[in-house]
Amino acid sequence: MTFGKANILRRTYRHVRRYRQILSVIIRYGFGDILDRVPLGKSLEARVRAVSGKPIEGLERLTRAERIRLAMEELGPTFIKLGQILSTRPDLVPVDLVEELAGLQDNVPPFPFSQVRNIVEKELGRPLEEVYLRFDEAPLAAASIGQVHRAALRGGEEVIVKIQRPGIEEMVTADLEILHHLAVLLERHTEEGAFYRPARIVEEFARTMEREMDYRTEAGQGERFARIFRGNETLHVPRMYRGESSKRVLTMEYVQGIKASRVDLLDAGGYDRKIIARRGADLLLEQIFHFGFFHGDPHPGNLTVLPGNVICYLDFGMMGSVDRRSREDMADMAYAIVKRDEAKAAAVLLQLVEWEEEPDRRALERDLSELMDLYVDRPLREIRMGALLEQLLRLISRHRLRLPWERYLMVKALATTEGLGRILDPDFDMTARVAPYIRRLKMDRLRPGRIAGEIGESMGDLVLLLREIPADIREILKQLRQGRTRIGFEHRGLEDLLFEMDRSSNRISFALVASAIIIGSSLIIQAGVGPRIFGVSALGLFGFLLAAVLGVWLLIAVLRSGKL
């Protein structure tokens, strides 16, 4: 979805009722001060405040992050999904809000089976009975975007079918248009908006939602994941049935297993929890550090265990990609922390993050040094990677740095896997599992083949540059001969000086005009021109009065500026 600046208002006010509903919820959860800082229009603001009602009871006991979460839950599917996505984006929102949004509850009632039938038949172009041998009317689960039903194909294969909620695309489109309008206003009129740039957040969210509401994307990611791990006997990837899937319907293999966090059922079934914990960690580390394509949300609900301690991922809607440079930077960061080299750690960290203003390097090194003091001299098995990564994220946020989404997703996946590993095996040591992959990455840089390849690439770039230089020089000389070369200068930091110079020149001009009026009025009175009042020229008196008004006005302006 794209948002053209010219029609923001026209598109947004097509949804006035929804707009008022969103704003009234914002007010009831204690964010009415936002309306005081953005120009919504007096008529709309008055109506919103009239229908918003009383604030939520006990509001003063809730933190700002808690109020945001509750408001999103009340506003429905689009906002719940936005909160869930923002809970993976510390580069866009504060860390405390990230943690709170992770607890968003997707309490959405299921839609009736008659609508399920209509959607499936419309999307697949066939009657339901021609596609499925059996289709359970009661859903297994319902979420904000769609719901899941169990079924069987005509060939007898057991499957689950995800069906997109009816009308969800239109609802999301309307909500996104309203959100973008509000985000633009916040960005223009508030300091927080200028820093966090909410319009950019909404635009990224819109792109994410477009992918999320196209089940063909999830099917493609699941198939890519299966190709990567083809032949790996410790992992099972559900089959995607493309012929029975579309943009709004996804049919995939039904897998009967035990939820990875159900320790009691695993023990009762004779599973080896230590093996499961190690395999889960090794699979994720292989995804990240070898393939650069990984499951971004490996929480217990998305992991099931099959006989033989085989691990199965269930949902491929949130996948991450990380390039070789980022993987190597992560390895360098870990190595710098172990070696207690805060200068190197700060340098590598700045390669991993983004920022609007360059941070204070000394302050960053000092904070990293304090972080290292907590972990460096402790045995590996006592180091909790999740806690270390969480403190590192807080440090990044404190220095107003942003960790890009893909890199944060990698960090989150590592922390989630460590947490699940410790549920399965209290002695599980994630740091020890990561160490060989970091060593492998660092050693890979020293391979003769890798070095030769990089030298070859550099030489190729150099040859290309040398080939282009003569042509570029000829073009520059040609433009110089034809007089088409222009040199532009950009002045920075001169705005205040230019403003003061402009104001001073205006005051001088003002004073000169007043002086000219006084001189002219004196000459008129001396000459006795025009009608008289008490024997004095009326035109001259009017000129003196006008000059007095201008003089007082100028004096007041000087006094108010505090500069005499």
Q: Does residue 229 contact residue 235 with C-beta atoms inside 8 Å?
A: yes
Beta carbons within 10 angstroms of residue 9's beta carbon = 12
Between CA 147 and CA 162 the distance in angstroms is 6
DSSP output for 434-463: HHHHHHHHHHHTT-HHHHHHHHHHHHHHHH
Dihedral sign (CA 11, 14, 15, 16)? positive
Catalytic hit among 175, 297, 315, 341: 297
Between CA 88 and CA 16 the distance in angstroms is 31
Between CA 92 and CA 202 the distance in angstroms is 11
Beta carbons within 10 angstroms of residue 376's beta carbon = 13
Between CA 124 and CA 129 the distance in angstroms is 12
Rg of the chain on CA atoms, in Å:
33
Residue position matching structure tokens 């809730």: 62
φ/ψ (deg, to 5) at 400: 60, 40
CA distances from 380 to 331, 338, 383, 428 (A): 16, 10, 5, 11
4 exposure class (CB count in 10 Å sphere: 0-12, 13-18, 19+) = exposed
Tokens for 458, please give them: 């550099």
> Closest by alpha carbon to 149, among 111, 104, 105?
111
Between CA 309 and CA 277 the distance in angstroms is 10
Tokens for 378, please give them: 């402790």
- 303: which DSSP letter? E
Between CA 153 and CA 196 the distance in angstroms is 48
Between CA 371 and CA 383 the distance in angstroms is 12
Tokens for 170, please give them: 């239109």
Between CA 35 and CA 53 the distance in angstroms is 15
DSSP output for 315-342: --SSEEE--HHHHHHHHHHHHHHHTT-H
Between CA 142 and CA 115 the distance in angstroms is 14
Residue position matching structure tokens 């093996």: 275
Does the active-site annotation cover 360? no
Between CA 298 and CA 260 the distance in angstroms is 10
Tokens for 209, please give them: 């939602």
**Active site residue ranges:** 297
